[in-house]
């Protein structure tokens, strides 16, 4: 593989002529270099294997990962896993891209579901069922289909889901009480009323879906109203945000931001901070925020599932990351699978959930008194996430192809035109949907 | 031009006041001018003061309602927190290494070239000088895709040289400054050395360098500052946590969609990141101005 | 760039036999002296520009072994892309707003500082006004985010205390652009200020004295003595500001708005970055780089063509 890289370097420096030669030579050289390539990289002569595991999660979650990995290393003397941490999923994807170009990929990556299609298409990797040591029965027995689906494209398991996160509602129970509200809103229309009363009470905007350049809680907000942001029809992609449900949802949000002045658009960090310091009583967000707010203890923290649209099936996108195994030596892939199995042991998952608050990917543990029942009973604030992982859970959209992000950007732009600039929802969405389709089907 | 006139207006008045001020200090005009400048300075400095004060504020008070510039009581807790969470010390060290190496590299290639362009006559001089100062108008982002491919192919991702080597090339401005300084040296000194049999390198090293030392110092300070502040390029090249410079390492504290930010540690790290360049500037600011005065920045 | 100062001859006449033996090496030495800098620039500035021409004809993602040749398709795609047109338009808008602001405002400030140049406070003013220039942008931006925060930002608090409306500065399509302008200006202003202060100090005292003896007023002093003498600095500031702001505006966009809301704050550099390093489209990113380069070249050429004439070299 190194040979191939040298060829391509020369190609870069000397131009396309050498590139043509390299393309001819590379397969031949790669074939010769097949044997023993594992020795130089990762496998010691004494049979001990060292692999890298890349993640891009928050500080607290990284710490939790590290202690589980330490346990694994102790229990498995033949393998050493080195955890390498990046600031975000996007950084992991970018580093993986570079590593793939240089053919120096890690043995296992905690890849965001958002990046699923991109990685499945572009990064050489092993599908989960092809891993050395893989056990199909074990997988099907212990993991719900809805969970496994998060890592699939067209039925192929590219990612083995691990970290699961859904957006849910957090509220400042003290502020609710002062505004005379008895509990969290059940529907989005109720939420608008709640926000009005809260704003009347505190004299500033009281609600935020804190998203700028992407759609997560927005995916639920829009899709739960009977439309689909992205559908693969088999003959092409269809973008349905301009359906009646999408128009209604964004009109509601525009009304809250621009007319009622009860909602405000800020980024995640600022919203979380404003919530924790008691400035913003109602937000959507991920579990880490609500736990941080509870820890700070400035007020009584409440949580609830995301609201529904009356009479319609709610959909909640599950974000997070799962194990993705690039195309490396079989020995390292086997070691990766060994680690994956360890992290999915009921005991390990119990420690994982207790440390991070995230639901375990494996079925049955949440209600098992031997494992996590006590923890989730005690931390009722985390319950809404568990509830949403049932029938309502859908994959967090992974935008396909090299224009995927551009298509998402077109939709986000359209959303922002409506909710920050008051442009008319129906035509704006219609135009954006067609443009996004053009990009995706290009 | 309207703008000039407007800002020229107060100047005229103030200067008349100043004439009087020479006789009687503390006239109302000068007082008003100071007041105006103080307000301007406060506005400019506010973001930095706020950051420094935040670094000394306990994290749970950071976002409490209201604005306080002076934390009560101040705490140093954020600093050990930052060092415990992330390799902040390594980041600082990386920044020092990267910024110093870029500075040395830029000086090493700029000084000889500036001398040749200033004092030697050779065929193609104007064209070559044009090529050198021409790089001043190329924003480095334009070259970022090809340079990234090159660095990746050289296997220099996550290495200091991956950041350093390409950045040395963006030195057109410094060649220009150094050349301006060398243009005004008295020819007699150089002639005298030549009569003594000194060759070009000896003259450069023994005669010219000592004379332009102030400008070299300024170029060193400016290029160190700009290298310390590099953002996009190290962001792309340095992907490993241990390899980051302080300016890009800070992302680790900002968190992501998952939440869990560490604002106290972030502010402490930010304060550490701005102190070295600020100190360096305060020490060097007189020299910077006088170097610009002497070299007479001219197009 | 016009060469100023005296033209020197290294060896006007052969001085001695001994020197002549060095002749050939000495004749080469200028080239050896400029070789290192030209090598670096060739490899990392000029070659990338040439290589971009090749990359701009490809459909490639950094990774795939296949680099498909698509000819001018990437440029046509840019022409069709509304986001690109918006980025191009905004780039022009940033220049139109920021260049005059950053050329003229620091000049005014430098003149303001002049009367107090003997006072000890002046050093402090200068240091404070220059400080933003030396601070890493990524660091400063974190603070700016909170200044612009619509719920509890200082700007919002002041505005509401003064009876104004709450504004979501970075999300409002009417204000976001001006936030980027303000932050970029804050960052670059100090550097230009120092250049002007240096220029004013290099105006010979006798010129001013002579003019004052002739009874020139303060405005006349500025208009007919100072201003002509600092025009080279103005021109220099103009040309360099043009370059600086592209970098600083990029950094501001990247940390504060990511080009939003709906592309209102994006510019060509940010567009290039998104194409190249978020969507991994090497071809369109390189095509954007070339368009940007062409724009930079032509604007710089225009500056020289029309403004340099009015520059007075002392």
Q: Which residue of A has its CA nearest to C275?
A: A406
Q: At residue A336, does pLDDT exceed 90?
A: yes
Which pLDDT score, from 0 to 100, does residue B245 have?
93
Torsion sign (Cα): A425, A430, A433, A435: negative
Kindly state whether B144 is in contact with chain A, defined as any CB-CB distance less than 8 angstroms. no
Instruction: List subunits contacting chain A, requiring 3 or more Cβ pairs under 8 Å.
Output: B, C
Average pLDDT over residues C125-154: 84
Average pLDDT over residues C92-109: 90
Q: List the single best residue of C21, C139, C199 to mutate versus B (max B Cβ within 10 A).
A: C139
Kindly state whether A431 is in contact with chain C, defined as any CB-CB distance less than 8 angstroms. no
Residues of chain B positioned with their CB less than 8 A from the CB of A95 = 239
Residues A172/A175/A179/A185 CA torsion (nearest 10 deg) = 0
3-state secondary structure of C58: strand
Q: Most confidently modeled of A237-251, B8-22, B253-267?
A: A237-251
Q: At residue C4, does pLDDT exceed 80?
A: no
State the count of interchain CB pairs (< 8 A) between A and C.
87
Nearest to A264 among C150, C261, C277 (CB): C150
Average pLDDT over residues A244-272: 93
The nearest CA of chain C is from the CA of B24 a distance in Å of 14
Average pLDDT over residues A411-419: 95
Average pLDDT over residues B197-209: 86
Kindly state whether B62 is in contact with chain C, defined as any CB-CB distance less than 8 angstroms. no
Residues of chain C positioned with their CB less than 8 A from the CB of B170 = 44-45
Q: At residue A102, does pLDDT exceed 90?
A: no
Average pLDDT over residues C29-42: 94
The nearest CA of chain A is from the CA of B123 a distance in Å of 29
pLDDT band of residue A42 (cuts 50, 70, 90) is low
> Nearest Cα to C64, choosing from A361, B109, A100, A152?
A100
Show the 3-state SS of chain A. Answer: CHHHHHHHHHHHHHCHHHHHHHHHHHHHHHHHCCCCHHHHCCECCCCCEEEEEEECCCHHHHHHHHHHHHHHHHHCCCEEEEEEECCCHHHHHHHHHHHHHCCCCCCEEEEEHHHHHHHHHHCCEECHHHCCCCCHHHHHHHCCHHHHHCCEECCEECCEEEEEECCEEEEEHHHHHHCCCCCCCCEHHHHHHHHHHHHHHHCCCCEECCCCCCCCHHHHHHHCCCCCCCEECCCCEECCCCCHHHHHHHHHHHHHHHHHCCECCCCHHHHHHHHHCCCCCEEEECHHHHHHHHHHCCCCEEEECCCECCCCCCCEEEEEEEEEEECCCHHHHHHHHHHHHHHCCHHHHHHHHHHHCCCCCCCCCCCCCCCCHHHHHHCHHHHHHHHHCCCCEEECCCCCCCCHHHHHHHHHHHHHHHHHHCCCHHHHHHHHHHHHHHHHCC
Instruction: Give percent of chain A above pLDDT 90.
Output: 67
pLDDT band of residue A38 (cuts 50, 70, 90) is very low
pLDDT band of residue C311 (cuts 50, 70, 90) is low
Q: At residue A14, does pLDDT exceed 50?
A: no
The nearest CA of chain B is from the CA of A339 a distance in Å of 22
The nearest CA of chain A is from the CA of B253 a distance in Å of 8
Which pLDDT score, from 0 to 100, does residue A442 have?
81
Return mean pLDDT, chain A.
Answer: 87
pLDDT band of residue A426 (cuts 50, 70, 90) is very high
The nearest CA of chain C is from the CA of B159 a distance in Å of 17
Q: Which residue of B has its CA nearest to A96?
A: B239
Q: Report ipTM for this prediction.
A: 0.82
Q: At residue A407, does pLDDT exceed 50?
A: yes
**8 Å CB contact of C8 and B37:** no
Residues of chain C positioned with their CB less than 8 A from the CB of B128 = 34, 38
The nearest CA of chain C is from the CA of B164 a distance in Å of 11
**8 Å CB contact of B200 and C233:** no
H or E stretch covering C47: helix C47-55
Model pLDDT for residues C177-229, shown as the tens digit of each residue: 999 999 989 988 888 888 888 888 877 778 878 887 887 777 888 888 888 88
How far apart CA A413 and CA A428 sit, in angstroms, is 10
How far apart CA B228 and CA B248 sit, in angstroms, is 10
Q: Which residue reads 């895709």 in tokens? A: B145
Find out whether A55 and A74 touch, Cβ atoms under 8 Å. no
Average pLDDT over residues A400-423: 92
Between the CA of residue B116 and those of B102, B109, B110, C9, what are the distances in Å?
22, 11, 10, 11
Which pLDDT score, from 0 to 100, does residue C228 have?
81
How far apart CA C172 and CA B15 sit, in angstroms, is 42
Kindly state whether A4 is in contact with chain B, defined as any CB-CB distance less than 8 angstroms. no
Which pLDDT score, from 0 to 100, does residue A43 have?
55
Nearest to A97 among C62, C172, C261 (CB): C62
Q: Residues of B numbered 221-260 whose beta carbons fall under 8 angstroms of chain A's beta carbons: which are they?
A: 236, 239-241, 251-260
Nearest to B65 among A84, A89, A279 (CB): A279
DSSP C5-18: S----S-SS---HH
Nearest to C61 among A16, A402, A412 (CB): A402
Kindly state whether B94 is in contact with chain C, defined as any CB-CB distance less than 8 angstroms. no
Model pLDDT for residues B216-264, shown as the tens digit of each residue: 988 898 899 889 988 889 988 998 888 999 988 887 876 554 555 677 8
Nearest to B252 among A87, A214, A285 (CB): A87
Residues of chain A positioned with their CB less than 8 A from the CB of C82 = 435
Which pLDDT score, from 0 to 100, does residue A98 have?
83
Model pLDDT for residues B152-161, shown as the tens digit of each residue: 888 898 899 9
Find out whether A111 and A89 touch, Cβ atoms under 8 Å. yes
Q: Most confidently modeled of B184-188, C130-134, C287-291?
A: C287-291
Burial class (CB in 10 A: 0-12, 13-18, 19+), A406: buried
Residues of chain C positioned with their CB less than 8 A from the CB of B3 = 100, 104-105, 108
Model pLDDT for residues B103-119, shown as the tens digit of each residue: 999 999 999 999 999 99
Q: Which residue of A has its CA nearest to B155?
A: A102
pLDDT band of residue B7 (cuts 50, 70, 90) is very low
Residues of chain C positioned with their CB less than 8 A from the CB of A19 = 67
Model pLDDT for residues B63-89, shown as the tens digit of each residue: 776 666 777 788 888 899 889 888 999
Reading the block at residue C153, the tokens are 């930002």
Which pLDDT score, from 0 to 100, does residue C14 have?
43
H or E stretch covering C97: helix C82-113
How far apart CA B113 and CA B91 sit, in angstroms, is 33
Kindly state whether B254 is in contact with chain C, defined as any CB-CB distance less than 8 angstroms. yes
Q: Which residue of B has its CA nearest to C111?
A: B11
Among A45-49, A285-289, B198-202, the range scoring the smallest mean pLDDT is: A45-49
The nearest CA of chain A is from the CA of B242 a distance in Å of 10
Q: At residue A3, does pLDDT exceed 70?
A: no
Among A21-25, A158-162, A223-227, the range scoring the smallest mean pLDDT is: A21-25
Instruction: Give percent of chain C above pLDDT 70.
Output: 89
Q: Which residue of A has its CA nearest to B263?
A: A273
Which pLDDT score, from 0 to 100, does residue C309 have?
67
Instruction: List subunits contacting chain B, requiring 3 or more Cβ pairs under 8 Å.
Output: A, C
Which pLDDT score, from 0 to 100, does residue A214 have?
86
Which pLDDT score, from 0 to 100, does residue C242 have?
75
Model pLDDT for residues A181-227, shown as the tens digit of each residue: 999 999 999 999 999 999 999 999 999 998 877 899 999 999 999 99
Residues of chain A positioned with their CB less than 8 A from the CB of C145 = 267, 270
């Amino acid at each position: 593989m190194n040979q191939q890289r040298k060829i391509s370097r020369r190609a870069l420096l000397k131009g396309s002529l050498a590139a043509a030669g390299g393309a001819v030579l590379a397969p031949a050289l790669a074939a010769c270099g097949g044997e023993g390539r594992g020795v130089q990289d990762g496998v010691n002569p004494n049979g001990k294997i060292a692999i890298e595991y890349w993640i891009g999660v928050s500080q607290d979650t990284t710490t939790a990962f590290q202690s589980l990995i330490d346990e694994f290393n102790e229990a498995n003397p033949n393998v050493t896993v080195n955890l390498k941490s990046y600031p975000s999923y996007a950084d992991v994807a970018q580093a993986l891209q570079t590593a793939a170009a240089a053919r120096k990929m890690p043995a296992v990556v905690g890849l965001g579901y958002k990046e699923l299609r991109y990685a499945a298409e572009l990064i050489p990797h092993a599908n989960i069922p092809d891993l050395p040591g893989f056990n199909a029965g074990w997988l099907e027995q212990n993991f719900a289909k809805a969970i496994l689906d998060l890592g699939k494209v067209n039925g192929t398991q590219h990612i083995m889901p691990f970290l699961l996160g859904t957006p849910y509602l957090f509220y400042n129970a003290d502020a609710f009480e002062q505004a005379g509200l008895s509990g969290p809103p059940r529907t989005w229309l109720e939420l608008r009323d709640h926000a009005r009363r809260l704003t009347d009470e505190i004299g500033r905007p009281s609600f935020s879906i804190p998203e700028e350049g992407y759609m997560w809680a927005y995916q639920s907000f829009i899709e739960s109203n009977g439309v689909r942001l992205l559908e693969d029809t088999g003959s092409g992609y269809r973008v349905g945000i301009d359906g009646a449900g999408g128009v209604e949802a964004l009109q509601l949000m525009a009304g809250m931001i621009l007319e009622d002045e009860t909602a405000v658009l800020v980024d995640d960090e600022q919203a979380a901070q404003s919530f924790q310091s008691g400035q913003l009583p109602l937000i959507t967000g991920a579990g880490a925020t609500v736990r941080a707010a509870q820890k700070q203890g400035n007020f009584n923290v409440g949580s609830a599932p995301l609201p529904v649209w009356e009479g319609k099936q709610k959909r909640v996108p599950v974000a997070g990351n799962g194990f993705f195994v690039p195309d490396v030596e079989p020995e390292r892939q086997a070691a990766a699978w060994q680690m994956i199995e360890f992290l999915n042991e009921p005991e390990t998952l119990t420690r994982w959930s207790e440390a991070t608050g995230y639901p375990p990917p494996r079925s049955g543990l949440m209600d098992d008194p031997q494992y996590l029942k006590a923890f989730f009973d005690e931390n009722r604030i985390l319950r809404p996430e568990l509830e949403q992982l049932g029938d309502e859970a859908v994959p967090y959209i992974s935008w396909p192809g090299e224009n995927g992000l551009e298509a998402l950007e077109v939709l986000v732009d359209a959303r922002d035109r409506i909710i920050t600039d008051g442009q008319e929802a129906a035509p704006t969405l219609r135009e954006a949907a067609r443009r996004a389709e053009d990009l995706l089907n290009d | 031009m309207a703008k000039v006139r407007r800002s020229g207006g107060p100047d005229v008045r103030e200067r008349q006041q100043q004439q009087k001020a020479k006789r009687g200090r503390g006239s109302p005009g000068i007082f008003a001018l100071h007041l105006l400048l103080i307000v301007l300075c406060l506005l400019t400095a506010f973001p930095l003061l706020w950051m420094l004060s935040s670094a000394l504020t306990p994290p749970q008070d950071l976002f409490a309602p209201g604005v306080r510039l002076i934390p009560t009581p101040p705490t140093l807790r954020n600093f050990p927190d930052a060092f415990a969470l992330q390799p902040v010390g390594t980041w600082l060290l990386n920044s020092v290494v990267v910024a110093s190496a870029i500075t040395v590299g830029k000086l090493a290639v700029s000084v000889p070239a500036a001398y040749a362009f200033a004092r030697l006559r050779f065929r193609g001089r104007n064209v070559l000088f044009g090529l050198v100062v021409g790089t001043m108008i190329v924003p480095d982002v334009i070259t970022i895709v090809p340079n990234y491919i090159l660095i990746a192919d050289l296997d220099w991702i996550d290495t200091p040289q991956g950041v350093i080597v390409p950045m040395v090339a963006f030195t057109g401005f410094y060649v220009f400054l150094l050349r301006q300084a060398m243009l005004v040296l008295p020819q007699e000194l150089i002639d005298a050395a030549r009569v003594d049999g000194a060759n070009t390198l000896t003259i450069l090293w023994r005669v010219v360098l000592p004379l332009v030392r102030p400008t070299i110092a300024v170029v060193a300070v400016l290029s160190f500052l700009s290298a310390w502040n590099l953002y996009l390029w190290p962001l792309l090249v340095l992907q490993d946590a241990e390899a980051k410079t302080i300016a890009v390492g800070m992302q680790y504290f900002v968190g992501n969609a998952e939440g869990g930010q560490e604002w106290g540690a972030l502010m402490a790290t930010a304060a550490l990141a701005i102190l070295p360049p600020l100190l360096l500037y305060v020490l060097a600011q007189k020299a910077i101005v006088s170097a610009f005065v002497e070299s007479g920045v001219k197009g | 760039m016009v060469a100023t100062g005296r033209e020197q001859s290294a060896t006007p006449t052969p001085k001695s036999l001994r020197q002549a033996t060095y002749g050939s090496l000495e004749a080469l030495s200028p080239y050896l002296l400029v070789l290192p800098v030209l090598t670096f620039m060739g490899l990392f500035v000029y070659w990338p520009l040439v290589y971009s021409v090749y990359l701009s004809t490809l459909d490639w993602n950094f990774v795939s072994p296949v680099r498909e040749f698509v000819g001018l398709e990437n440029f046509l795609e840019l022409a069709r892309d509304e986001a690109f047109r918006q980025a191009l338009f905004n780039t022009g808008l940033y220049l139109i707003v920021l260049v005059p602001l950053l050329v003229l405002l620091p000049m005014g400030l430098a003149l303001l500082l002049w009367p107090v140049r003997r006072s000890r406070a002046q050093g402090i003013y200068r240091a404070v006004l220059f400080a933003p220039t030396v601070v890493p942008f990524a660091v400063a931006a974190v603070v700016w985010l909170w200044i612009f925060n619509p719920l509890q930002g200082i700007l919002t608090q002041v505005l509401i205390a003064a009876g104004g409306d709450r504004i979501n500065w970075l999300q409002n399509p009417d204000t976001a652009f001006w936030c980027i302008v303000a932050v970029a200006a804050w960052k670059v202003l100090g550097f230009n200020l120092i250049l002007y202060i240096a220029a004013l100090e290099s105006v010979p005292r006798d010129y001013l004295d002579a003019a004052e003896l002739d009874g020139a007023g303060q405005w006349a002093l500025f208009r007919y003595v100072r201003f002509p003498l600092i025009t080279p600095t103005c021109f220099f500031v103009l040309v360099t500001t043009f370059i600086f702001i592209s970098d600083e505006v990029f950094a501001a966009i990247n940390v504060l708005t990511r080009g939003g809301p709906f592309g209102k704050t994006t510019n060509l550099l940010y567009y290039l970055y998104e194409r190249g390093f978020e969507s991994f489209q090497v071809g369109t990113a390189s095509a954007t780089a070339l368009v940007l380069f062409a724009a930079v070249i032509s604007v710089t050429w225009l500056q020289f063509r029309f403004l340099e004439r009015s520059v007075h070299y002392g």
